A and B are shown apart, each in its own frame.
Chain A
């Protein structure tokens, strides 16, 4: 242990005997602890909600999507499919057959522009003889005033040539299911079987894109790099995070704003550290002069007070981390904050503690404490030692 650290620790230990310094030290540490705990709890609360949103995102969005860098369809669909299948951890590979069109229903007079795409293989299998099945979004259901079992006509934006001239391609579907999309979720308006999607899109073979699902969505970035390497620059590979970029950005922004706002508590607590250390510098002015006479450099004197700030910061941060993490875990474990299930789809407020965020909060609090100590430490380094000794007689 350096002599600067031993002096700083001894000053802190001895401050118990000086009631006013002890009080300010305690307030500084508690202030910092409250700030750290508040920040950890706030971020855990946000993470709790955001983890659920991300889980839904990962569940409902393809984890990887390979589309052509130029043009409407994949130039070598089989190569793309093989590249995706060859990846580790891929559980399903589906072609994406999608396009734009209009829906009409008997309950409404006008048509509604929509985006359609093929449903995953095996879903929406048509009953013998009946019209093909479709799954529509709740928004389309509301606007077309339809319910499961009703018929829906989808007209493609594509036309086919007939002896009578170009005719629109249209298919009538029976509504099998209505999908309730989560907030900001990017889903197609209607999902239809692959063969009818190919008919509407005019795409007998190949695909607009290929999509893959992974066993572990967290590996999407690694898999994306691998596919990009395999396929080269003619293909665009996107992960589920990139496909939901606006939502991901909104979630990150939300967390950043909360961090910046609640971190102000830590900054305010750091002001107490400034006054605490400034008081110690004034009280120990004579010691500074004496240490200088013994050969201590101005830098050494500054380090004593920076260390003092760091120790106060570390104690406050450790206490804050303990309180913040325990509170978050308990609030989540015992589901203490309940929510009306009919409004929120959740029965309680979820809390999720991310070690990386806790480390970030701790590092920020510690850095703020040391930065707060830097001001009085600089003053200590600039003290005229002769004067400090002369005036302390």
Chain B
């Protein structure tokens, strides 16, 4: 069964000077449970693809189906709820809210879902323990190291037990040791949570450890190459 099915996606951004077409008529399918890496040069639209798959951006043309649900058929409110329950995002620059502690950041998806602050923080604490930050619960996110911040971001993405994890260069801003640690954590959690994961990366060594690699270029996404499994 397909976890991700994207057909004929086109996206153009309005730049200050002129419209910038990121990609046109792009197709992308991914089976359930696969850990896939998307590689490609900067500017081909890898992050944009993740945003379209996660429903935080809308394609100009084409359609996206996640776990059999067409995002186009959902109202903004339903799409937000679907994202909260089924999709996790990890960004390159972690994008934690700096005014909040690690625990509060991880509790956000629960709070958005309407879970009480106390319950949400208890659940967040467990996840932080799982990602190896048991002693960092009450630290403000800006006081954590880059690797720790990315672990918090991963915990936040997994808070609601998503079926699809979209990670946009989560190791791109880390030193090689931290990057390896974060990647190892992602692969472990991918297996533990039985998720489908799409990882955008520039690191071929890490990509080789994924189930599939997609090479993205101006022409589209090249056929997948299987390395393992």
Contact = CB atoms under 8 A, between A and B. Distances in A.
Interface of A: 1-3, 6-7, 10-11, 13-14, 286-287, 289-300, 384-387, 389-390, 392-393
Nearest to B11: A386
A386 B56 contact: yes
Interface of B: 13, 47-48, 51-52, 54, 56-57, 76-77, 80-81, 83-85, 89, 91-93, 95, 97-100, 108-109, 111-113, 117, 156, 160
A6 B103 CA distance: 14
A389 B56 contact: yes
Given A293-B54, A294-B89, A295-B81, A386 B76 contact: no
A1 B160 CA distance: 20
Contacts, number: 79
27 contacts: A2-B111, A3-B111, A6-B111, A13-B99, A14-B98, A290-B95, A292-B56, A292-B80, A292-B83, A293-B56, A293-B83, A293-B91, A294-B156, A295-B80, A295-B81, A295-B112, A295-B160, A297-B77, A298-B76, A299-B77, A386-B51, A386-B52, A386-B57, A387-B13, A389-B95, A390-B51, A393-B92
Nearest to B89: A293
B91 A3 contact: no
A385 B97 CA distance: 15
B100 A10 contact: yes
Top-3 shortest CB links A-B: A295-B84, A386-B57, A3-B111
B56 A296 contact: no
A14 B99 contact: yes
Contacts of A286: 95
B112 A3 contact: yes
A173 B57 CA distance: 95
A294 B95 contact: no
B80 A390 contact: no
Contact of A10 (B51, B57, B99): B99
Contacts of A389: 51, 56, 91, 95
Contact of A289 (B52, B56, B83): B56
A287 B81 CA distance: 18
Contacts of A385: 56-57
A7 B107 CA distance: 12
A297 B76 contact: yes
A7 B100 CA distance: 9
B85 to A, nearest CB: 7
A328 to B, nearest CB: 39
B131 to A, nearest CB: 17
Contacts of A287: 97
